[in-house]
With several copies, the nearest count.
Chain A
Amino acid sequence: MTGNAPFSSLEELAAQVPDGAKLAVPRDITGPAMAATRALIRRGLRGLHLVCVPTSGLQADLLIGAGCVATLETSAVTLGEFGPAPRFAAAVKAGAIAILDATCPAIHAGLQAAEKGIPFMPLRGVLGSDLIAHRPDWRVMQNPFAEAGDDPILVLPAIRPDVALFHAPRADRFGNVWIGPRRELMTMAHAAKETLVTVEEIVDGDLLAEDEAAAGTIPALYISAIAEARSGAWPLAFHDAYGADAVELADYARLARTEPGFAQYLARLLELDGE
C-alpha cells in the first residue's frame, strides 16, 4: 500500500468531526474510542446525530450529558451491570434530544446497505412493533418474491454516517487497522464517509502482508485518521488488553444521576487528560 498513512494527535482527530455530523460508534464491548470522546467533548462538539451500532453505554451517556447530541439513533443505551444510563433517560424524558428507537439488526442492516451502496435493505421480523410507527423513515412493503398471499416485509433506508469513530488494538505504519473478529467495525468503516480510529499501538510491518493478520484488518483506504491512545477505551474494558475500571464506572453511575453530579464528574474527567 502507499505511504500516506494519516496519523494525527487526538485533538486533530477530534477536530475532524464537524458539528451536526452523523457519527457512528460501536457498543461498549466492541471498542468505543473513549479518549477521543473526551477530546470531542473538550472541543465543544454540538448537534451530533449519534448512531449507536447497535447500542451504546457510557459513551452515549457522556456525549448526551455534555450537550453534544441532537439526535440519538440506537437500539438501547445502558451502563450494563452498572445500571441505567442516567443522562440518556433524563434527556429523553425532558425532550432535550430527538430519539430514533431501533432494533439491533435494523441498525446493522442500514449500515450494510450503505456498505453495499444500495438505498435500502429488507429485514424480517419487527412487524407489529411500535418502533415502526415512530420511524417515519422506515417502510413496510410487499415482498416482490412472495409465492402466495400477503407477505409484508420491513425495508430500512441505508445508514451512511459522515464519520465512524472507534478504538482498535493496533494500526500499522501504512494506516491499516487490525480489528480482529469485531466485524461491525469493518462494516462501519465501509459504510461511513470518513473513519477515525484510535489505537492502543502503532506497529511495524504490514498488516496486509500475511493472511493471518489481514483476515482481521481494515485496509488503509477506508481510514481517514489514526491517533495513538494507550488505554483509549478506558474506563471501559478492552478485549484481552484490560478490564473495565469498575470503581470509575460505579462512580459515574452514581454521580450522573443528577445534573450537578454529572457536571462534577465531567469536569474531573476532562481534567484527567490535561492540556
Chain B
Amino acid sequence: MDCRREELLIAAIARLLEGCRNVAVGMLSPIPGTAAMLARARDPRVRVLGILSGNSFTNGGVELFDLAAQGRLDAFFLGGGQIDGRGNLNLVGTGDYPRSEVRWPGSFGSAFLYALVPRVILFREEHSRRVLVPQVDFISAPGPAAEDSRRRGGPHALLTDLALFTFDRERRRFCLESVHPGHGLDEVIASTGFDFDRLETVPETPTPDAETLALIRGPVAREIARTYPRFAAKLFPDAVAAS
C-alpha cells in the first residue's frame, strides 16, 4: 500500500498509544496530534488533551502538569535538540551553559513530565548524529536513573524518520525495534551518535493497513484540519477541501 512518510509515523505513534486513555499533545505537534486523533477514532474512550481547539482545560496552564502529577495522564510527547543513549534530553542549547553556542527555546515542562508521565514518546523527525548524541550538553530532563524506583515517567519509545526504538529501563539503553521502509540498519547505525541494543534481524516498521489509511485520510484528516490547518492542507488536501 502506498503511504507517505507522515502517515507511517502517525500509524506507528498510534500503535504506541494503544491502551492509553488520556493523551496530551502540544500545539506545534501535528504528527503526534494526528496520531492521537487516530487513536481516538479507533477507541472513543481516548481523550486528546491540550490541543487548543479541544479546550479541555479550565484551570489555566498549570492543569496539564497537575493532571500528570495526579497520575491521570497516560501519554505525552517530547523532543529535544539533543537526545543521548541514556535517554537524557536537551532542550536548552549546545556548548557551555549559560552562554550556549546554539541556544534553543528552553526546557518547557520536560523536566517534570518526563519523570511523571508513564508513556513519554520521544519524537524527533531528524535522525542524525547532531541530534542523537553520545551525551547531551545540558540535561533538561534526565533519563531514568538506576536507583530511581519512584519514577513512573518515560521514556517509552523514540521515533524518528528512520526508525523506532524502545527504552530498556534496566539496561538504561535504547533498543532498535524496527527500521522504516526504504531505510537500512547501516543507515540507522551511521546516523546515531550513541550505542543501542537490537535483535539479530531488525524488522521493518509496518506500514498502515488500508483501513487505518482510510481513517487517517478521512475523518481524522477532517478533524485535525481545525487544529493544524497548514499541516492538513499540505498532507490531506482532498479531505480538507471536502470538509
Chain A contact residues, CB within 8 Å of chain B? 1-4, 27, 29-30, 53-55, 74-78, 80-81, 84-85, 88-89, 92-95, 99, 101-106, 108, 112, 114-118, 123-131, 134, 151, 181-187, 190-191, 208-209, 214-219, 221-222
Contact = CB atoms under 8 A, between A and B. Distances in A.
B46 A2 contact: yes
A151 B65 CA distance: 20
17 contacts: A1-B47, A4-B44, A54-B108, A55-B106, A55-B108, A77-B105, A81-B28, A92-B99, A112-B62, A125-B116, A128-B139, A129-B141, A130-B140, A182-B60, A185-B60, A187-B62, A214-B55
B45 interface: yes
Contacts of A27: 61
A131 B70 contact: no
Contact of A124 (B60, B116, B139): B116
Nearest to A30: B61
Nearest to A74: B106
A163 B68 CA distance: 19
Contacts of A208: 55-56, 58
A76 B113 CA distance: 15
A151 B66 CA distance: 20
B65 A129 contact: no
Given A2-B46, A76-B107, 4 more contacts: A95-B98, A104-B61, A129-B142, A182-B60
B31 to A, nearest CB: 14
A185 B148 CA distance: 35
Given A78-B105, A92-B99, A108-B62, A117 B70 contact: yes
Contact of B58 (A2, A55, A84, A215): A215
Given A125-B116, A184-B61, A215-B58, A95 B66 contact: no
B115 interface: yes
A229 to B, nearest CB: 22
A181 B57 contact: yes
B99 A104 contact: no
B47 A2 contact: yes
Contact of B71 (A85, A103, A108, A117): A117
A94 B98 CA distance: 10
Contact of A117 (B40, B55, B68, B108): B68
A117 B66 contact: yes
B92 interface: yes
Per CB-CB distance, the 8 closest pairs between chain A and chain B, nearest first, are: A117-B69, A183-B60, A76-B106, A128-B142, A125-B115, A105-B65, A78-B105, A184-B60
Given A108-B65, A117-B71, A214 B58 contact: yes
B56 A89 contact: no
Contacts, number: 185
Contacts of B68: 117
Interface string B185-197: 0000000000000
Interface in B5-60: 22, 27-28, 40, 44-47, 49, 52, 54-60
A105 B112 CA distance: 7
Contacts of A134: 97-98
A76 B105 contact: yes
A222 B66 CA distance: 12
A184 B59 CA distance: 8
A93 B101 contact: yes
Contacts of B233: none
A234 to B, nearest CB: 19
Nearest to A146: B150
A115 B139 CA distance: 28
A142 B142 CA distance: 20
A129 B111 contact: yes
B66 A115 contact: yes
A122 to B, nearest CB: 11
Contact of A181 (B58, B92, B115, B153): B58
A105 B107 contact: no
B105 A55 contact: yes
Nearest to A153: B150
Contacts of B106: 55, 74-78, 101-102
Contacts of A131: 107, 111, 140
A151 B140 contact: no
B115 to A, nearest CB: 4
Interface in B85-131: 91-93, 97-116
Contacts of B167: none
Contacts of A216: 58
Contact of A75 (B109, B148, B150): B109
